[in-house]
């Protein structure tokens, strides 16, 4: 109802291509739960990230502003990077926290670590955080197990930096991260958060940024060797399983019908990895390029009883998440330049998005 704003679960895949999911046409992917989510929700055919690489894309997603405004561009942050997303930037979490939401983040942050964790999620509006502060390949991995019982991670990952740490709020709780156990830890953390919010009748915002299907792929025993797509397919199936667990947690806590679930990816697939990278489907190129394959992402919006199942060809992007959630939560928009729009008319089938006056860059003819 109007009085109680919806809970929000924002799911972000990592390096997942436009053509990787079964519901987006992949012939051999095993993604039954995401396919069901798409069948029961609204599937976007023209949804875009703001950048073809991780950090800038995530800055755009969480602030509703092009990454050039916050300075998180053109490349990604590294374990040794001193900076991060400026603390003055207003994130979706900070916006919703002001409306009384409990907020938590699970998974890959990649918007800065800083001295004493100065740029970690708990400094940017998240009450709780469990995750790796950057990409899981940004630390030596050649001696780590990616698939049980003892399959080493493929490749060598970044050298001469620390082993990938797992943070709980501002403290390291495991280093190196145990990849085969990681998604289960995330799922348990997410379930506990959802459950505690439901018991308090507090609206919540959960940002679940999976490491799947970024290189090097990994999975738990449950998903290892289970798909025809090899290591990539197994990692994707574990991502799919995590989505299923989250939906089950929403049902078990009695909040399923008042929760908006939104799924997308940060950027296109790392096609240079061949079978160990994802698929752009029929789109050109992938991660690291501004061709369609690098920027156009699978996206699904799901909210039973509110969003009518179907497919939309409306143009939308990660920039639209913040203004849309602000509208749903009844929060006034922040007094900063936002680059996105409220997608409510598309989500609820009430009309077209009001783009207002959009300033497009001039295209110079060669």
What values do phi and psi take at 13, rounded to 5? -85, 165
Residue 173, SS3 per DSSP: strand
Q: Residue 343 burial (CB < 10 Å; 0-12/13-18/19+)?
A: buried
121 close to 353: Cβ distance less than 8 angstroms: no
**Residue 137, number of CB atoms within 10 A of its CB:** 17
What values do phi and psi take at 250, rounded to 5? -65, -45
Residue 147, SS3 per DSSP: strand
The residue ranges of DSSP E strands in the chain, in sequence order, are 7-13, 42-48, 102-107, 128-131, 145-147, 151-152, 166-168, 171-174, 204-209, 259-265, 296-302, 310-312, 316-317
Cα separations (Å) of 166 from 178, 179, 183, 328? Answer: 9, 10, 12, 33
**Calpha distance 130→24 (Å, rounded):** 30
- Any idea which residues carry the catalytic annotation? 54, 110
180 close to 186: Cβ distance less than 8 angstroms: no
Residue 7, SS3 per DSSP: strand
**Calpha distance 142→158 (Å, rounded):** 10
**Calpha distance 92→90 (Å, rounded):** 7
Q: Could you tell me which of 317, 358, 354 has the C-alpha nearest to residue 337?
A: 358
């Amino acid at each position: 109802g109007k009085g109680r704003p919806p809970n929000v679960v924002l799911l972000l895949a990592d390096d997942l291509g436009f053509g990787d999911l079964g519901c987006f046409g992949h012939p051999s992917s095993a993604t039954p739960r995401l396919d069901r989510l798409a069948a029961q929700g609204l599937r976007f055919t023209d949804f875009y990230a703001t950048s073809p690489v991780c950090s800038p894309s995530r800055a755009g997603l969480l602030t509703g502003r092009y990454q050039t405004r916050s300075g998180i561009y053109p490349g990604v942050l590294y374990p040794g990077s001193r900076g991060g997303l400026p603390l003055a930037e207003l994130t979706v979490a900070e916006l919703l926290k002001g409306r009384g939401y409990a907020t938590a983040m699970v998974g890959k942050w990649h918007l800065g670590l800083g001295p004493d964790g100065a740029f970690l999620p708990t400094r940017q509006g998240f009450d709780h955080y469990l995750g790796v502060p950057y990409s899981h390949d940004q630390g030596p991995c050649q001696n780590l197990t990616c698939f049980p019982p003892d399959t080493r991670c493929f490749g060598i990952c970044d050298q001469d930096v620390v082993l990938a740490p797992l943070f709980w709020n501002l403290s390291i709780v495991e280093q190196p991260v145990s990849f085969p156990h990681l998604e289960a830890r995330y799922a348990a953390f997410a379930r506990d958060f959802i459950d505690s919010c439901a018991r308090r009748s507090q609206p919540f915002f959960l940002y679940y940024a999976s490491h799947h299907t970024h290189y090097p792929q990994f999975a738990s025993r449950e998903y290892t060797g289970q798909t025809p797509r090899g290591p990539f397919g197994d990692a994707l199936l574990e991502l799919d399983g995590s989505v299923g667990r989250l939906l089950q947690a929403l049902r078990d806590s009695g909040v399923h019908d008042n929760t908006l679930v939104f799924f997308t990816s940060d950027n296109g697939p790392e096609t240079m990895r061949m079978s160990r990278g994802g698929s752009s489907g029929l789109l050109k190129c992938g991660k690291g390029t501004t061709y369609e394959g690098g920027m156009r992402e699978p996206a699904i919006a799901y909210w039973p009883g509110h969003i009518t199942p179907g497919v939309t060809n409306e143009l939308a992007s990660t920039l639209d998440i913040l203004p849309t959630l602000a509208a749903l939560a009844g929060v006034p928009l922040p007094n900063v330049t936002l680059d996105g729009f409220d997608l409510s008319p598309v989500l609820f089938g009430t009309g077209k998005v009001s783009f207002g006056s959009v300033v497009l860059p001039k295209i110079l003819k060669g």
